Structure 1
Amino acid sequence: MLKKLLSLFSNSVMLAERPNQEPQHQYVFFDEAAHEWIGIPKTEISDQELRVLKTLYQLIDFQATVGNTASGKWHEFLLFDGPPPSNPSDHEYRFIQFQINGPDINQPEIEDALKGFFTEDTNIIWESRKNGVVIEGKKQISLSDGELISMSETLESDFYVKISFYVGKLYPLSEMLPSIYKKEREYFTFAVRHLENNSRLFTYERIFPAYLAAHLPEQLTGQIPHEIFELFTGDPELYTTIKVFLENNLNASTTAKKLYIHRNTLQYRLDKFTERTGIGLKDFYGAFTVFLACQLFEHTQQ
């Protein structure tokens, strides 16, 4: 979409990446969906056009991330090849990335609310209007996964937005952290695009099976028994049952409760699947094969 602006503003230019410093005579806009930047001369944009563009795209606020604050240093280190923050090298850190979706996202108020749940010296940086990351040192970690989900529910209630989190692993402070952060961001981006819309919390373990299935070469995906795909296609309810059963560690009681069905109904569906495919779900190898098939099937339906 940004490319269409080139014809409207004759001296505008597409940018390969976000500038490290603010151009003196340009506004820089970012299209998050296409991951593109454009620089438009300030003299070519009227006040009304500027207001319209700010509602459609993110106007990069260079002042928000400059300076010698701890968050600013982390921002430059993770995103723009800056030097590592001056923290003890034996410290370990994890990144809790978040994405907020809603019609009215008030960054300062949401950031204040986030800081209220974490320790006071936790750093928060923003990559865009709705994407950011909480940087936690090992000694700062205080919230469990369940507490993070509760926090998400509270923020959604208070700000009328939907917020999802990706909880990364602990890593020592090193020159490798920016690449690790970007890889975790890739997993998170994949998750919010391809996994359940109602999920509030993602982890590597939760995402990787679906990520693997989506990136398998065609010659391997063709090795999944076609009977499974045919069964899932003809009976979507059975597919959902099998997937929820596997995701809940083969626990019949939990699965029946989540699906709002009787245990006898669940057992009937499990028996039907085994009878039609010849694959049992009570051992690791059968469960693993079927779970991978579920991920591949889900990917083909998108």
Structure 2
Amino acid sequence: MIKKLLSLYQNSILFPSKPKNPSERFLYFCNESEDEWIGIPKTELNERELNLLTVLYTLVEFPSSNLHPTVKAWHDFLYSNGPMPSHLAGNSLRIIQFNINGAETNQPEIESALKGFFTEDIIIIWEGGSRGIVIEEKNTMSLSEEEILSMSETLESDFYVKISFYIGKPILFSGQSPGKFHQEREYFTFALSQMGLFNIFTFERVLPAYLAYQLSPELKAKVSQEIIDLFNEDYEMFSTIKVFLENNLNASMTAKKLYIHRNTLQYRIDKFVEKTGISLKDFYGAFTVFLACLLYEQKK
């Protein structure tokens, strides 16, 4: 499979095994089942292509030769099965992933700005030109989700880019940490490719869409087709119901986000309930409709 990429990216290079002298000009992907490796020039991949390739293959990160020793130790630990960095043994950590979508990224300026939002030292590791992670120790987990959202908005206005964050769960620092990080990394990659460019992603926000995406066609077909048909007829109905559910059935907040009057919102909700017979005030009804929203969104 991976050999077919050679015809799409003519300057790419196929390797019989893991590259021994990787170039910083390339991104390297591995098909683990076939032990195939390919290097593709970074300049030939746009953000959408990169997200798609990381879903299909394993993106293998090689540390830069001029990394700070502490950063290199963490890079080797998380990405290359390296030994545990000794200075954090026994503590907890949180990994916040970020992705920048926009003009060419000025990494030193972005990194300096990120560090300015945190109260103590953090470790930043870049994955290519526009994606990276922030590692916080237990005593430096200072920013809440609302504060990280505010940080993303500030960075966007300062650098004229769209930046998305995935806020990882605090985890105990151990030999299992890389595996937990890579699971969160998979969620973030999925979110970027399937859920649009939101500012903040979390496990709770991504998991329902991730599970809906993994359903077999047979199971997807069992979700109420009546709801899907209604959304096909009236896209405005879909967007209204989804935002209403995402905002915990809060009418005022939903109307504000949709820029509509509360009476208009209530009319659309009543119309949906009348046509489907499903009450959104019931947990099971709301769950069923939200699942239908996710499947409809992915299908679109």
TM-score bucket of the superposed structures, by smaller chain: 0.7 to 0.9
Q: 2:24 and 2:263 mapped to 1: Cα distance?
A: 63
Shift of 1:119: 3.6
1:227 corresponds to which residue?
A: 226
Q: 1:208 and 1:63 mapped to 2: Cα distance?
A: 36
2:57 corresponds to which residue?
A: none
Shift of 1:121: 2.2
2:279 corresponds to which residue?
A: 280
Aligned pairs for 1:123-142 within 5 A: 123-142=123-142
For the structure 1 residues 125 and 88, does the alpha-carbon distance in structure 2 shift closer, same or farther, using more than 3 Å as the test?
A: closer
Shift of 1:260: 1.4
- The number of residues matched between the two structures is 278
2:87 partner SS:
coil
Paired amino acid for 1:38: G
Q: 2:8 and 2:244 mapped to 1: Cα distance?
A: 49
2:201 corresponds to which residue?
A: 202
Q: 1:180 and 1:38 mapped to 2: Cα distance?
A: 26
- Determine if the alignment matches structure 1 residue 182 to structure 2 residue 182: yes
For the structure 1 residues 108 and 280, does the alpha-carbon distance in structure 2 shift closer, same or farther, using more than 3 Å as the test?
A: same
For the structure 1 residues 29 and 159, does the alpha-carbon distance in structure 2 shift closer, same or farther, using more than 3 Å as the test?
A: same
1:3 corresponds to which residue?
A: 6
2:44 corresponds to which residue?
A: 56
TM-score, with structure 2 as normaliser: 0.84
Gaps of 5+ in 2: 32-36, 47-60
Q: 1:298 and 1:38 mapped to 2: Cα distance?
A: 33
1:49 corresponds to which residue?
A: none
2:39 corresponds to which residue?
A: 38
1:100 partner SS:
strand
Q: Is the 8 A contact 1:239 1:294 kept in 2?
A: yes
1:241 corresponds to which residue?
A: 240
Q: Is the 8 A contact 2:90 2:174 kept in 1?
A: no
For the structure 1 residues 257 and 28, does the alpha-carbon distance in structure 2 shift closer, same or farther, using more than 3 Å as the test?
A: closer
Paired amino acid for 2:39: I
Q: 2:256 and 2:172 mapped to 1: Cα distance?
A: 41
Q: 1:5 and 1:271 mapped to 2: Cα distance?
A: 50
Paired amino acid for 2:44: L
Q: Is the 8 A contact 1:29 1:60 kept in 2?
A: no
For the structure 1 residues 296 and 7, does the alpha-carbon distance in structure 2 shift closer, same or farther, using more than 3 Å as the test?
A: closer
- Determine if the alignment matches structure 1 residue 114 to structure 2 residue 117: no
1:258 corresponds to which residue?
A: 257
Q: Is the 8 A contact 2:63 2:72 kept in 1?
A: no
Paired amino acid for 1:148: I
- Determine if the alignment matches structure 1 residue 289 to structure 2 residue 292: no
Decide which structure has the larger Cα Rg and report it.
Answer: 1
Shift of 1:218: 1.8
Q: 2:175 and 2:285 mapped to 1: Cα distance?
A: 41
Gaps of 5+ in 1: 40-52
Q: 2:13 and 2:130 mapped to 1: Cα distance?
A: 24
Q: 1:242 and 1:271 mapped to 2: Cα distance?
A: 11
Q: 2:106 and 2:63 mapped to 1: Cα distance?
A: 14
For the structure 1 residues 87 and 220, does the alpha-carbon distance in structure 2 shift closer, same or farther, using more than 3 Å as the test?
A: same
Q: 2:106 and 2:62 mapped to 1: Cα distance?
A: 15
Q: 2:9 and 2:223 mapped to 1: Cα distance?
A: 47
Shift of 1:120: 3.9
For the structure 1 residues 16 and 135, does the alpha-carbon distance in structure 2 shift closer, same or farther, using more than 3 Å as the test?
A: farther
